Every structure is written in C-alpha cells, then in structure tokens.
Amino acid sequence: MDAPRWVLHVDLDQFIAAVEVLRRPELRGLPVVVGGSGDPTQRGVVATASYEAREFGVQSGMPLRTAARRCPQAVFLPSDAPAYEAVSERVMETLREFPAVVEVMGWDEAFLEVHTDDPETLANDVRQAVQERTRLASSVGIGDNKLRAKLATGFAKPAGVFRLTEANWWQVMADRPTDALWGIGSKTARKLAELDVRTVAELAAADPYVLADRLGPTMGPWFRRIARGEDRSPIVGTPYVSKSRSRETTFQHNLTDWALVREEIVALARRVADDVVAEGRPAVRVAVKVRLAPFQTYTRSVGLAEPTSEAAAIEAGALAALEKFEPGRAVRLLGVRADFETH
C-alpha cells in the first residue's frame, strides 16, 4: 500500500456490437448496428454501432431508419440483453482477480482503485486478461481520480491506454469544448456558450457566482470544479446493483388517442412490476417517458407513498406520472421505469 494510488477506468470497446461479432464471426469488419427488433424499416433506436458503422455517422440513440439511410450496407441486429449481461459478468469476474477495488458502472465499464508504481503495465495486464478470457478488446484510462480516468479512456480508444492527471490536465483539456467533460451535455454547453464560456479553460476560470446564478447553486460551481479536473468521489467496491427497471415500446404508427396511451402505460407498468418482483427489491419511484413526434423526449416521475412491489401501486404511479403530460400530441414511444431505493 506504499505504492501510489491510481484509478483505472476500463471500458469495453463497442461492447454490444463486439459481442454480436463474436457470435457471428462473418460480420467482422462489416458495419454492424444493434437496436430494437433489428429491422430498420420499423421504428426503434440504435443501441450501439460498430466502429465501421460509426464512420458513416451512425450513433447510439439514433433512429434505425436514419442509421439505414446513412449506412444502407450495414447489418442490423436485434438487441439481446441476456447475452450481453452474461459476457459482462465474465469481464467483471476477470477484473476482480486483480489486486484492486472494483466499482462496476454497467455492462461495459468499471473503475479500479489500484496501488502501483507502474499503472500503464497494470492497465495493459488488465486489457490482456479481458482479451484472453472474453476475446473482447478494451481501453483503459489512468487517472489520479475517477473524473480524469474516465476522460482518459476517450483518448485511449480503441484498445489502448492513456494517462490523464493533474500534471497534463491543461495540456490535454484546456482548449477542448465544455461538453468534452464528463457530466456536461449539449444543453449545458449551450447555456455556457450564452455566458461566452466555450472551452474547458474558460469554464475553469469562470466566475462561480455567475455560474451559480445561471446553472443553479449546486451545479454551476460543480461544473467549474470538473473543468479543473477536481473529483473526490470514492471507488465503491460493492457488487453492481441496478438502480431501476424499465420497459418501453416504440409504435410503428403514432398514437393520437390518449385513451390508448393510458392503456399502453398500464401494460408497460405491469411488465415493470413483474421485473420489480423478480429483482426482489421494492420500488420507491415511478417514471414515464414519452417521445413525441417527430423526436422530442420527455420524462416525468412521481414518488410512491411507500416502497412497494405491488403491481397496482406501480401502475397507479405510472398513470399519475402520465397525468403530468399535456395530452393531444402524437406519441411515438412510451416507457415506464421503476426506481429502487439507493443508499
């Protein structure tokens, strides 16, 4: 424990697409798009795309039809969550064999807290072990905290290692746009641009009181801190536990009758309730997602009176959340999510 502390962020490259290619080796080198039912003539969104498909501008979250227009030669496949979960478990088991605290962040990524004089060698050992056990490529970011390790992985891809610390933070990040930071999306970047803050360096030097006034007393100063690479969040070595269970459906024809919308919400809520029972943990909050035509997505949620796995309570919560929407516009997608209590 006398060796320096490092944080490694392990990220599996094009994970879902890579799993599909392992199952179908003949697809190697081809543009592969995974999502929905795998039929680009039907409504659905891209879950992931292989690097070959990304070269044509195909991105996660994009409608399958748009992906097909951008890359008509792509191979489209349906999502297979159980297969991805099984592979992910093997990867995480491999990571836990190293002398590290492992915090799993999802199917395809995890943080490792390690103590070593040579983090690059350890990172490459991790990559090699994952490759040998699962035949999957991974990238590893090395940092002196979680934020920097996470961002370093972007520079490591594909299948590489990169170190980002206080020593090279400004050299690497200063001139990059604010949405290059982990935690800042396009909407926040636009708000910052309205303040004439467009780069990481400009955000780091921004007046915290102005940021607090424009972006909120908590988030404004926090954005300034991450622009400086500051992060004190610990690595939590507990097994990965899902925070929620959700179900959603995309309609091939827009729903315009709100009575039908309510029926679909009830059906989704019942499926989610079954998932909650299977999880063995009560839900404390229910959220409804509505995607309006052409492609505007909104989410509303309600807290439940008490933690519960009862289908009736989850259904009632979903309907209460739905009431927060103004009926009338055409609906192309509906989703229901039950959140579990977090400690």
Specify the pLDDT at position 311.
Answer: 93
How sure is the predictor about 119, in pLDDT bands with cuts at 50, 70 and 90? very high
For the segment 158-179, the average pLDDT, to the nearest whole number, is 97
Residue 301 CA to residue 157 CA, distance in Å, equals: 36
Reduced 3-state DSSP string for 202-218: HHHCCCHHHHHHHHCCC
pLDDT digits (tens, 9 = 90+) for 73-100: 999 999 888 899 899 999 999 999 999 9
State residue 318's pLDDT score.
96
Categorize the per-residue pLDDT at 123 as very low, low, confident or very high, splitting at 50, 70 and 90.
Answer: very high
| Residue 113 known to be catalytic | no
Q: Annotated catalytic residue: which of 20, 52, 103, 109?
A: 109
Give the pLDDT mean for 320-342. Answer: 91
Rounded CA-CA distance 163/171 in Å is: 12
How does residue 1 score in pLDDT terms, banded at 50, 70 and 90?
low
For the cut 90, the answer to whether the pLDDT of residue 42 exceeds it is no
CATH number assigned to the domain covering 244-340:
3.30.1490.100
The per-type count for the chain, helices as H runs and strands as E runs, is 13, 12
pLDDT at 217 over 90: yes
pLDDT of residue 240: 66
Strands 75-77 and 32-34: parallel
Domain edges within the chain: 1-165, 169-227, 244-340
Burial class for 4, CB neighbours closer than 10 Å (0-12, 13-18, 19+)? exposed
Q: What is the pLDDT of residue 329?
A: 87
pLDDT tens string 6-17? 999 999 999 999
Residue-wise burial string across 315-341, b where 16 or more C-beta atoms lie within 10 A, e elsewhere = bbbbbbbbeebeeeeebbbbbbbbbbe
Concatenating the DSSP letter of every residue in 238-263 gives SPP--SEEEEEEEEEEEE--HHHHHH
Whole-number pLDDT of residue 36: 85
What percentage of the chain reaches a pLDDT higher than 70? 98
Please write the tens of the pLDDT for every residue from 142-167. 999 999 999 999 999 999 999 999 99
State the CATH architecture for 169-227. Answer: Orthogonal Bundle (1.10)
Fold designation for 1-165:
Alpha-Beta Plaits (3.30.70)
3-state class (DSSP) for residue 51: helix
Query: Tens of pLDDT along 260-306?
Result: 999 999 999 999 999 999 888 899 999 999 999 877 889 999 999 99
Each residue's pLDDT tens digit, 219-267: 999 999 999 999 999 998 876 677 889 998 888 889 999 999 999 999 9
